[in-house]
Amino acid sequence: MEEEKNLKENKKKGNSLLIVIIILLIIIILDLAFYICYDKGIIFTKQEETSTEEKDKDKEDEEENVTFSDNELEEYIDYIRPISIGPSPLLYNTSYVNSSDLSAAEKIQYLGSYIYEKTTTSQDFAYNIISESDVEKAVSKVYGPNTYEKTKFNLGCGDYILNETDHNYYSKNGCGGASSMFVGSSIIGYKATKSKLEITTAYVVYIGEKETIYKDYDGTISLETLRYDSTNDIREYLNEYAKNNQDKLYHIVYTFESNNGRNYYFKELKNDKV
């Protein structure tokens, strides 16, 4: 009787041990299957890896080099041309400009020459007129969509004031003047990706009264004496001089940024004169 009881208890213990072993095996198998799925990216990490791959692709696209022609580079530089009698101090006597720091009027002022090309004159020649539509298009083209604001602005010769009735800006005519101060510049390089365009120029300044080419706008660092016969001659000479002597001249770096790899908008300029 006692022997039969012991036999039943041993059998019961054996069954319990077997159950424990089976449970452990199931857990091990499930863990192994889970690890294999995780390692293969079947569960949990697939979305994360896809997201990482997309980010890496976006980064590669941003860093991919983009090619611009000389004419395209010149076009971007020509946007930033404040009107001035002689070289503009807003470019050549300023160390740094960030578009986000510019007021609505200053944004237009930095596009002075580009916007002034749209000017017409009233029938009595008393006023210069620029349509608000042309100003808005110019600002949006250079600074980006929704960057235009209605404002009074100055292009170097009298304020332009908006007439809300006919949507034109008016400025009294009659300003003018001449200068014997000229600037020559040359694009000496650029870096371009789908997110950023940097254009580097070298420049020199000529002061006619002194018949001297200078490195700086203030005329404190002389480079060469020069006499000229015509305005065209001096401009061509200065541009060539800037191109051939770029290493010893001051540089301006213009930066434009893009969100789509197609449209680049003005961000900043740095003049290493300071």
Position of tokens 């609505």?
Answer: 104
Residue type, 61: D
pLDDT at residue 190 tops 80: yes
Residue type, 72: E
Share of the chain above pLDDT 90, in %: 61
Model pLDDT, residue 1: 53
Q: Which residues contact 90 (CB under 8 A, 6 or more apart)?
A: 82, 84, 97, 109, 110
Residue 200 tokens, joined? 């580097």
Model pLDDT, residue 230: 78
The residue with greater pLDDT, 232 or 203, is 203
Model pLDDT, residue 244: 97
pTM summary value? 0.76
- Please, which residues bridge with residue 187 across strands? 201
Cα-based distances in Å from 142 to 44, 92, 109, 145, 169: 45, 20, 12, 9, 19
Least confident of 16-20, 24-28, 147-151, 222-226: 16-20
User: Where are the strands (E) in the chain, listed by range?
Assistant: 96-98, 120-121, 127-131, 153-154, 159-163, 168-172, 181-192, 196-207, 212-214, 222-225, 250-258, 264-271
Tell me the backbone φ, ψ of residue 200, rounded to 5 degrees.
Answer: -105, 130
Position of tokens 């041993």?
Answer: 10
Residue 192 confidence class, pLDDT cut points 50, 70, 90: very high
Report the candidate in 202, 223, 234, 199 with the shortest Cα–Cα distance to residue 86. 234
Residue 29 confidence class, pLDDT cut points 50, 70, 90: confident
Model pLDDT, residue 110: 96
CB 160 within 8 A of CB 119: no
CB 113 within 8 A of CB 81: yes
Query: Per-residue pLDDT averaged across 46-65, rounded?
Result: 57
d(C-alpha 224, C-alpha 206), whole Å: 9
Residue 22 confidence class, pLDDT cut points 50, 70, 90: confident
d(C-alpha 50, C-alpha 57), whole Å: 10
| Range ranked top by mean pLDDT from 11-25, 37-51, 104-118, 225-239 | 104-118
Q: What is the pLDDT of residues 128-170, one digit of tens each?
A: 999 999 999 999 999 999 999 999 999 888 899 999 999 999 9
Query: Per-residue pLDDT averaged across 11-33, rounded?
Result: 70
Position of tokens 């620029």?
Answer: 130
Q: What is the end-to-end Cα distance of the chain in Å, rounded?
A: 108
Least confident of 16-30, 142-156, 198-212: 16-30
The residue with greater pLDDT, 226 or 12, is 226
Model pLDDT, residue 44: 52
